[in-house]
A and B are shown apart, each in its own frame.
Chain A
Amino acid sequence: MTAQVAAETAVDTRMSMDEGVVDAESIDSMYLTFAVGEEDYGMSIGMVTEIVGMQRIMVVPDVPDYIKGVINLRGKVIPLMDVRLRFGMNERPYDDRTVVIVLEVNDAPMGLIVDRVREVIDIPDGNIDAASGFGSGDGRSVVSGLGRVDERVVILLDVPLLVSDMDVIAPKLAKA
């Protein structure tokens, strides 16, 4: 079981959220950051309900490839999206750092399988650059912006678009 991972993560989240509240009045500029491959991603914490360890996935029919199945989280059936597959990256076996970020978007639950979560950080609007150059071709880009945090770049995601079944342009970033 990876409950331990989940518990640690939850603590991390809470701690850094508390710090964040001191810095900023609202949670609007708070982002949960996580890693997929070598890249750092971030999403607004507003839609995140919890972070849990990897659970037993049950396969369901008639869903896109990137929906790996569902989990039963305390009586709630939550579909799991493998973010790697959604981005067109190679699948990777799940390990004990793989976690599920549970979201509630438009009243529907969704779990995102990511390689690992990092932290909750505050990225003021002034530190976010528009993600130009991602919008060509078919579909819309799931990248809503690029956040500058110290020397790092965090790719901010358009979560409602990400969890929809629309075709999206996966982020293909050169290392910043």
Chain B
Amino acid sequence: MSANPEATSEKSSGGALLRVSSDKIGRLMDLVGELSLSVSETVNSPDLAGLDLVGFDAAAHRLSMIVREVQDAATELRLVPVGEVFRRLKRMIRELERETGKIIDLDIVGADTAIDKLVADKLYDPLLHVVRNSADHGLEPPDERVANGKSKKGMIRLAAQQVGSEVRIQVIDDGRGLNREKILKIARKRGFFGEREEPEPERLWKVIFEPGFSTAEKVSTLSGRGVGMDVLNTTMTDLRGRIAVDSEENNGTTVSLHIPVSLAFLDSILLRLGKQLFTVPVDDVAEIVKPGMSDLVGVSASKGTEMLKLRGSFIPVLRLEKFYGAKTTNLTPLVDMVCIVFQTTRGAIAVPVDEVLDRQQVVMKPLVGSLAKVRASWGCALLASGEVAIVLDCERLASGEER
């Protein structure tokens, strides 16, 4: 319990800051999790059944309340203002000004938005690449800006805001915007789109995150090697985040990163399949359907693939038993199951489970050692009951990816 005094003094001393190793905080979090488990075990002990314990019940209630508060306080320890990351970028932008000869106004919004320290640490590199791209490719040199009727100074805005359980971080510039023709030409050459295909802007902009994609004719020291956006992509996958790009010719580009506030906690729906427990992030679930006999189609011609008919369209059914190669001979008929419909980038999939148990805030843990090979999983989740569930990544389920 050595982490305790240090951790609490940080809170009570208000303004004064204290450096605490993340290991200690991790240990504290583990202990707090254990504490809340033991408390719930004690309070709900079967030995107490049928006893009339007025005083005990009141005390147990108080205890549970305190434990919940301790849990919240411990969680907060890991949160840092995103402004720390922005400050480091500010220095970088001054350097970029010198190198590019552009004048850049940096605007920071929402610097006090709280984010998990682990996330914050991983955010600098990808953000750096986005900012570099804005400064190098997005913003025009002063004379070009004046010629286009813009102010001499270019603007880059770093904005952070909490939206639900996510933090949205935006890098906004008022530069020349993304060049649709140029990007489309390269995207077609690389085979992302067909020769005649005219993709939606949203879909087109996303290709700039593909590995090795760069439209810059010249590789500068700043950007154009096509590796930056790739770094962004990888990091965002690690952080369970999403990227969105919006751009308007001559009006600038906005790159938005949506990241969960905490990697440690996950708002999830708990599912049971046979003896196994799974959870999925609430946001991933599009719909939960109890299929009727007439909603199901079996396609024996295609290895017994099953399809779920939902409002006129057919959704492939993905059985977790098959996906994980379990040696089950009798699969439960789909009519006795509940289908979770996920909307993925490869289209919708329906995953049947025996039961939808609960919606729960769970503690996430990475899968290490011999568990690291479990496919299509973000990690495992510790439930309030002390049980362990596998957190499903529906994107990787849909892609049937090996790892």
Contact = CB atoms under 8 A, between A and B. Distances in A.
Genuine A/B complex: yes
Interface stretch (A89-97, A103-111, A138-146): A103-111
Q: Say which size band chain A's interface belongs to.
A: 20 to 34
Nearest to B372: A108
Contacts of A53: none
Given A70-B380, A72-B387, A63 B370 contact: yes
Contacts of B371: 60, 63, 70, 77, 79
A166 to B, nearest CB: 11
A61 B373 CA distance: 10
Contacts of B37: 75
Interface in A102-130: 105-110
A152 interface: no
A60 B276 contact: yes
Nearest to A61: B324
Interface of B: 29-31, 33-34, 37, 274-277, 320, 324-326, 363, 365, 368-375, 377, 380, 382, 386-390
Q: Is the interface of B mostly helix, strand, loop or mixed?
A: mixed
Contact of A81 (B29, B31, B326, B370): B370
Contacts of A106: 369
Contacts of B277: 58
Interface string A78-91: 01010000000000
- Between B275, B276, B320, B368, the greatest number of chain A beta carbons within 10 A of the residue's beta carbon is seen for B368
B329 to A, nearest CB: 16
- Between A58, A61, A79, the greatest number of chain B beta carbons within 10 A of the residue's beta carbon is seen for A61
Contacts of B325: 62
Given A70-B380, A75-B34, A75-B382, A108 B369 contact: yes
- Between A67, A77, A79, A106, the greatest number of chain B beta carbons within 10 A of the residue's beta carbon is seen for A77
Contact of A77 (B275, B324, B388): B388
Contacts of A70: 371, 380, 388
Contacts of A175: none
28 contacts: A58-B388, A58-B389, A59-B274, A59-B275, A59-B276, A60-B380, A60-B388, A61-B276, A62-B374, A62-B375, A63-B370, A63-B373, A63-B374, A67-B370, A70-B388, A74-B30, A75-B33, A75-B37, A75-B363, A75-B382, A79-B370, A79-B371, A81-B370, A108-B370, A108-B372, A109-B368, A109-B369, A163-B369
